Amino acid sequence: MRCEYERNSMSSGTIRAFPLTEFPVVEPQEDLVKLILEAVENSGRNLKNGDILVITSKIVSISENRLVKAEDIEPTQRAREIATENDFDPVHVELALRESTDIIRTKRVLITETYSGLVCNFSGIDKSNAPEGSYILLPEDSDASAHRLRDSLMKLTGKNLAIIISDTQGRPWRKGSINVSIGCAGIAPFKYNKGKSDLYGRVLKRSTVCQVDEIAMLVEPLMGQAGQQTPVVIVRGYSYLDSEEEAKDINRPKQEDMFR
């Protein structure tokens, strides 16, 4: 697969990705749809039918006022114990515990299961790119957030669009974090290849691709994870279908989890 970075875009065959650069700093409860449309206009581009907007979870969270100030949190004894054992921030630990339904590991890491079913470090709560003394929680329901953004953007533009809300996560068996989808709307999370033939004519009996994760990973080099201020990328030219499934369906049910 050939990828090129040219003129603030990324091209791979017929798939192109355009970052909305110099996106403004999002304030709590700010109109994110308005900011996105202004950024599109400032980029000199127009949204087209079939475009996929990949949006970082952080700006969604901030616009939904999912910010917590450290001074407002009193860590519990359990949080203090975990923090002391691992040299963690006790407030960070307390928030992770509050946002979780299950604590999976507390040695060297704090792996939890969130209310939406994500299994991740510190319930996905982060301090990077947050106002001083604050923590950013994940959106309460990322799929619902994606649907709200899609409905508003389609109403204002008249275009058929898809939304992917992305977040960076670590992996248990490999070093380094990658971008994944934690919310989507207008695009099926999975692409099923069962029944198709491989190069030698053999029919595939099972092949499920998490296409929204692949798209999220595709644009991560354009977004970055530091101070690039590029939280929205337009993906164009990717063929996809919609479905009733949501990003929360990507999470394996506990009974299917091979490592718990």
Angle, CA 89 vertex, CA 84 and CA 94 arms, to 5°:
90
Residue 248 pLDDT greater than 60, yes or no: yes
Q: 126 with 81, same domain?
A: yes
* pTM score, whole prediction: 0.91
User: Cα–Cα–Cα angle for 238, 242, 245, nearest 5°?
Assistant: 125
Residue 195 φ then ψ, to 5°? 95, -15
For residue range 168-179, list pLDDT tens digits in order.
Answer: 998 888 999 999
> C-alpha 40: how far from its chain's center?
20
Q: What is the number of structural domains in the chain?
A: 2
Q: Has residue 3 got a pLDDT over 50?
A: no
Helix/strand/coil (H, E, C) string of 3-58?
CEEECCEEEECCEEEEECCCCCCCCCCCCHHHHHHHHHHHCCCCCCCCCEEEEEHH
**257 assigned to some structural domain:** no
Query: Per the domain annotation, does 160 fall within a domain?
Result: yes
Sorting pLDDT into bands at 50, 70 and 90, what band is 130?
confident
The reply to whether 96 and 146 lie within a common domain is: no
Are residue 238 and residue 158 in the same domain, yes or no?
yes
pLDDT in tens, 9-49: 444 458 999 999 989 999 999 999 999 999 999 999 999 99
What is the percentage of the chain residues whose pLDDT exceeds 90? 77
Residue 39 to residue 59: CA distance in whole angstroms:
14
Residues 185, 150 contacting (CB under 8 angstroms) = yes
The model's confidence at residue 227, banded by pLDDT at 50, 70 and 90, is low
Domain that holds residue 126: 68-134
**Same-domain check for residues 13 and 55:** yes
DSSP letter at 110?
-
Same domain for 157 and 39: yes
Within this chain, do residues 161 and 243 fall inside the same structural domain, yes or no?
Answer: yes
Do 103 and 147 belong to one domain? no
Tell me the Cα Rg of the chain. 19
CATH number of residue 193's parent domain: 3.30.1330.100
For residues 55 and 179, membership in a common domain is answered with yes
Mean pLDDT, residues 81-95 taken together: 98
pLDDT band, residue 203 (cuts 50/70/90): low
Here the CATH number for the domain that contains residue 102 is: 3.90.1660.10
In contact, 247 and 86? CB cutoff 8 Å: no
Task: Decide which of 89, 112, 134 is a domain's last residue.
Answer: 134
